[in-house]
Amino acid sequence: MLALLVAQNIAFYIIAALMVVGAIRVVTTKNVMHAALWLVLVLSGAAAQYILLAAEFVAITQVLVYLGAIIVLFLFGIMLTRAKTGNDDDLDNKKSAKFIGAGIGVLLLGLMSFSLIDGFKDTEFGDLTVQRTAEVSDSIFSTYLLPFEVLSVLLLAALIGAIVIARRD
Amino acid sequence: MFLNQFLLLAAILFCIGVYGVLARKNGVLVLMSIELILNAVNINLVAFGAYWHVNDMANVSGQVFALFVIAVAAAEVGVGLALVLLIYRNRQSIDIDDVDMLKG
């Protein structure tokens, strides 16, 4: 049991480091295409973390929806707006705005880490058990049936809206 | 594993995303930063869901909410990219600083 826990921790920290590096590259890189590819690293890292948390169905959905659909959509967006394929110096706001953004980010991080460390000091997970897909579907189609239906209407509306907005007429 | 590991990772990703939204002016990159923020929230939801699942086996609300967030994020990116394309078609650039017609 202890060996498994150590392995889980090592895996967590490696994946977390990759995710943070990827996320920083997404917001700092000078190449739009590279930003999309670094985003792939962050999103697949999140899927791996879901596996560590024994949430298999969300992990698979993350891979299908984010890596399969959303990244492709981003690449389409990049190509259709004819972004420069090489480095582009005109992606960021001016220096002062970047400093203010960084200040707000660091302030927010300090505040959140203080309250998290204060609130959940060393709460442990205990023995994680696999959260079965059958349980998830039972929950969606009983307790959360109404939000589920509302969500499907929202998706339909977003689909029609996107077509109407992007259509050439 | 501590619950805080995952919560702090999510907090870091969230703040990087906030910085991206504030510092970038390319429309597509702002949408990517919003994706980072939504992912951070999802990690939080799944972590809390796993934490509650240990005590209450029938409760998988964390996962269900994470799935809802994923679906809403997909809808958001679809509409967002359609808007970016429309801006590009009208002004041949996707700098959101240029979209200031409401300023007068």
Tokens of residue B85, six digits: 């394309």
Q: What CA–CA distance (Å, rounded) separates B20 from B31?
A: 9
- What confidence tens digit (pLDDT) does each residue in A98-139 have? 999 999 999 999 999 999 999 988 888 878 888 888 989 999
- Residue of chain A nearest B37, judged by CA positions: A23
Instruction: Give the fold, CATH level 3, of B3-94.
Output: Helix Hairpins (1.10.287)
- What confidence tier does A26 reach under pLDDT thresholds 50, 70, 90? very high
Contact list in A for residue B76 (CB cut-off 8 A) is 158
CA–chain centroid gap for B22, Å, is 14
Contact list in B for residue A147 (CB cut-off 8 A) is 68
**Count of A-B CB contacts under 8 Å:** 265
Q: What percent of chain A has pLDDT over 70?
A: 99
Q: What CA–CA distance (Å, rounded) separates B103 from B33?
A: 25
Q: What percent of chain A has pLDDT over 90?
A: 65
**What is the model's pLDDT at position B104?**
65
**What is the model's pLDDT at position B13?**
96
- Residue of chain A nearest B19, judged by CA positions: A101
User: Does A86 have pLDDT greater than 80?
Assistant: no
Three-class secondary structure of residue A94 per DSSP: coil
Q: What CA–CA distance (Å, rounded) separates A86 from B70?
A: 31
User: Which residue among A83, A131, A165 places its CB closest to the CB of B86?
Assistant: A165
Query: In this structure, how many other beta carbons lie within 10 angstroms of the beta carbon of residue A89?
Result: 7
Lowest mean pLDDT among A1-10, A54-63, A145-154: A1-10
Tokens of residue B89, six digits: 């078609």
**What is the model's pLDDT at position B7?**
94
**What is the model's pLDDT at position A104?**
95
User: Does A82 have pLDDT greater than 70?
Assistant: yes
Residue of A161, A27, A155, A47 lying closest to A101 (CA atoms): A27
CB–CB contact A166 B95 (8 Å): no
**What is the model's pLDDT at position A12?**
94
Q: Which residue has the tokens 């920083």?
A: A24
Q: Tell me the shortest Cα–Cα distance from B44 to chain A, in angstroms.
A: 10
For residues A125 and A38, the model is more confident at A38
Residue of B96, B94, B84 lying closest to A84 (CA atoms): B94
- Residue of chain B nearest A136, judged by CA positions: B60
CB B63 within 8 A of CB A144: no
- Domain residue ranges of chain B, discontinuous segments joined by +: 3-94
CB A10 within 8 A of CB A20: no
Report the mean per-residue pLDDT for chain A.
90
Q: What CA–CA distance (Å, rounded) separates B40 from A60?
A: 17
- Residue of chain A nearest B30, judged by CA positions: A27
Regions of chain B with pLDDT less than 50:
none
Contact list in A for residue B53 (CB cut-off 8 A) is 54, 128-129, 131
- Distance (Å) of CA A37 to CA A2, A40, B10: 36, 5, 20
CB B29 within 8 A of CB B20: yes
